[in-house]
Amino acid sequence: MTGNFFEDGWRVRPSVVGHASYDSLDLEDIVYPHWVVSFITEGHVELEAGGIVSYASAGQVMLHAPHLPFSERSGRSGNHRWFVVEAANAHGMELLRLYPVGEVTTIVDAGQYIRAFDQLLTAWERKKEPFREMEVSSLCQLLLFYLLQSWEQGGRSPRSLPFSKNDERFQLLISYLNARLDEKISREQLGELVHMNPNYLDRIFAEKFRLTPMQLLRELRLRKAMRLLEQTELPLSQIAAQCGMGDAAYISRQFAKSCGVTPGAYRERAKLANQNYYGSFSE
């Protein structure tokens, strides 16, 4: 899956932020409704979930999935910076399911991560501070960025414990769509991909994400077309071809329907929005 998948639409909401120190650790069958992201500042931990045992040490993040009991054990002292977070896009697609980060990830720049976390903890404890929610959300998003960046640079080590069968299928389907926006794709083709009847696939996919796979495909294509209009000078015919949207006439109709403007007008608006209004005064 490419890195630009719905990057502009993540909703990141922490529910717990904490800094824990211990002489020894014996936590059994802990469950949270959202993702637990725990950075080990000091120590060595055995973690277990779903019968799979992993090990993590200083400079690494332990990642625990929602609603899945996990255990952490250590016979020596340690120190963790941790938070619980919900991170999803407008359709309810979870960031850490779309990008299946492994249970243990080594953070590339531990000092950078710690500084951002300490800012988060300070903001979290200022309960009555104006704009606190905006600050904690942005800092959580930054920490998740550091996690994903480290996972990417570390070779994208997959989770040892798979998600539910449907989650695996949805992840496969979304990755397939995102990699083939310029190709002709049918409902039947998607059903064959995940071994499901197309009507049943539409129903269970929409129950989770509030749109069908083909509706998602149209949205992905439109978003890619918008990015190309904003960032390139490609002619409309080439943009239509790269986005699997037929020809210039078809993409114009889709823009009018979804955005209320023509692609040309959208491009002009984007240019105006991105221009440097200080002009020649800029250094």
DSSP letter string over the chain? Answer: --TTTTGGG-EEEEEEEEEEEESSEEEEEE--SSEEEEEEEE-EEEEEETTEEEEEETTEEEEE-TT--EEEEESS-EEEEEEEEEEE-TT--BHHHHS-B-SEEE-S-HHHHHHHHHHHHHHHH-TT-TTHHHHHHHHHHHHHHHHHHHHHHTT-PBPSS---HHHHHHHHHHHHHHH-TTS---HHHHHHHHTS-HHHHHHHHHHHHSS-HHHHHHHHHHHHHHHHHHH----HHHHHHHTT--SHHHHHHHHHHHHSS-HHHHHHHHHHHHS-TTGGG--
131 and 172 in a single domain? The answer is: no
User: Would you state the pLDDT for residue 162?
Assistant: 61
127 and 82 in a single domain? The answer is: yes
- 64, 35 contact by CB (below 8 A): yes
134 and 203 in a single domain? The answer is: no
Cα–Cα distance measured from residue 184 to residue 244, given in angstroms and rounded to the nearest whole number: 7
Domain boundary among 132, 153, 174: 153
145 and 39 in a single domain? The answer is: yes
Q: Is residue 2 part of a domain?
A: no
Cα dihedral 129, 133, 135, 136 sign: positive
Q: Is residue 183 part of a domain?
A: yes
234 and 109 in a single domain? The answer is: no
Total domain count for the chain?
Answer: 2
24 and 142 in a single domain? The answer is: yes
- 199, 213 contact by CB (below 8 A): no
What is the end-to-end Cα distance of the chain in Å, rounded?
A: 38
Residue whose token pair is 């992905």: 220
**pLDDT higher than 70, residue 2:** no
Q: What is the pLDDT of residues 150-170, one digit of tens each?
A: 999 999 987 876 666 787 788
**pLDDT higher than 90, residue 92:** no
* Domain region containing 87: 7-153
- 99, 148 contact by CB (below 8 A): yes
- Res. 282 pLDDT band, cuts 50 70 90: low
Q: Is residue 34 part of a domain?
A: yes
Q: Is residue 39 part of a domain?
A: yes
Q: Is residue 283 part of a domain?
A: no
Q: What percent of the chain is modeled with pLDDT above 70?
A: 93
16 and 134 in a single domain? The answer is: yes
Indicate which CATH number applies to the domain containing 184.
1.10.10.60
Domain boundary among 153, 177, 211: 153
140 and 185 in a single domain? The answer is: no
User: Would you state the pLDDT for residue 159?
Assistant: 81
Q: Is residue 200 part of a domain?
A: yes
User: CA nearest 29: which of 57, 68, 81, 64?
Assistant: 68
Q: What is the pLDDT of residues 204-252, one digit of tens each?
A: 999 988 899 999 999 999 999 999 999 999 999 999 999 999 999 999 9
176 and 130 in a single domain? The answer is: no
Domain boundary among 153, 184, 199: 153
Q: Is residue 116 part of a domain?
A: yes
Mean pLDDT, residues 189-202 taken together: 95
Q: What is the pLDDT of residues 39-51, one digit of tens each?
A: 999 999 999 998 8
pTM for this model (two decimals) = 0.78
48 and 122 in a single domain? The answer is: yes
